Amino acid sequence: QSALTQPRSVSGSPGQSVTISCTGTSSDVGGYNFVSWYQQHPGKAPKLMIYDVTKRPSGVPDHFSGSKSGNTASLTISGLQAEDEADYYCCSYAGSYTLVFGGGTKLTVL
Amino acid sequence: QVQLQESGPGLVKPSETLSLTCTVSGGSIDNYYWTWIRQPPGKGLEWIAYMYYTGSTNSNPSLKSRVTISIDTSKNQFSLKLTSVTAADTAVYYCARGNIGGLLTPWGQGTLVTVSS
């Protein structure tokens, strides 16, 4: 069970859009529609932002969206805001009642 | 609203057993997958294990031989034991409520466990 692959860092200016990728295999990301995304600010617990690839929990701003193509899932943040600066992690069901996380991506708002 | 709180020793000696408890308040422990995740200092998240409220469990293959997870529905608590710890097990340990596909929410605030003599 290998960690999902995410870019180490991404950046964008306020108002711009950024996309964070999460690449796995047909045994995890590609095989199930069970990808979730978490936002983590320094010193805080992660917060669920997207689940089941595209669904947004109540209270999460609608400028966060998720998608998937093949073995790669993506989190898009449109209309970047200063408070979106954080670490982001993807997570996928990997079969046989196991989960796997991505290595994490640091988003910098310039 | 449901809240989770981790508790346990912050310092464990090498080769000993790490034991943590997560207390669930504001809701029932029924019908969810109760999950442990850890994060070494400055590093990413790692799924450790989860247990369904009925008692069925599964854990990360890389940790499977050292992990025991249990649940006490009468106390609304679930617990983690990790045996034969080394410095590599030093991390912030989080508990969370989830489902089989993840959907981890809410999370506890996390507790730092340091493995050192």
Find the helix or strand (DSSP H, E) in which B108 lies: none
φ/ψ (deg, to 5) at A82: -55, -40
The pLDDT tens digits for B41-92 are 999 999 999 999 888 899 999 998 999 999 998 999 999 999 999 999 999 9
The pLDDT tens digits for A40-76 are 999 999 999 999 999 999 999 999 999 999 999 999 9
Which chain B residues are Cβ-neighbours of A103 within 8 angstroms? 44
Lookup: tokens for B89: 């097990």
Q: How far is A17 from chain B (nearest CA, A)?
A: 24
For residues A83-97, average pLDDT: 96
| Contact state of A91 with B109 under an 8 Å Cβ cutoff | no
Q: What is the pLDDT of residue A1?
A: 73
Identify the band that residue B114 occupies on the pLDDT scale cut at 50, 70 and 90.
very high
Q: Which of A35, A19, A17 has the alpha carbon at shortest distance from A71?
A: A35
Asked if the C-beta of A93 comes within 8 angstroms of chain B's C-beta atoms, the answer is: yes
| Contact state of B61 with A57 under an 8 Å Cβ cutoff | no
In sequence order, what are the beta bridge partners of B94? B37
**Mean pLDDT, chain A, integer:** 97
| Contact state of A97 with B62 under an 8 Å Cβ cutoff | no
| Contact state of B107 with A45 under an 8 Å Cβ cutoff | yes
φ/ψ (deg, to 5) at A14: -55, 135
Chain B, 10-29: which have a CB under 8 Å from a chain A CB? none
* Terminal CA-CA length for chain B: 39
Which chain B residues are Cβ-neighbours of A48 within 8 angstroms? 103-105
Work out the percent of chain A whose per-residue pLDDT is above 70.
Answer: 100
Q: What is the pLDDT of residue B64?
A: 86
A17 touches A81 (CB < 8 A): no
Give the span between the Cα atoms of B63 and B59, in whole angstroms: 7
Identify the band that residue A8 occupies on the pLDDT scale cut at 50, 70 and 90.
very high
| Contact state of B58 with A103 under an 8 Å Cβ cutoff | no
Chain B, 62-81: which have a CB under 8 Å from a chain A CB? 62
Q: What is the pLDDT of residue A2?
A: 86
Choose among A45, A100, A104: nearest Cβ to B109.
Answer: A45
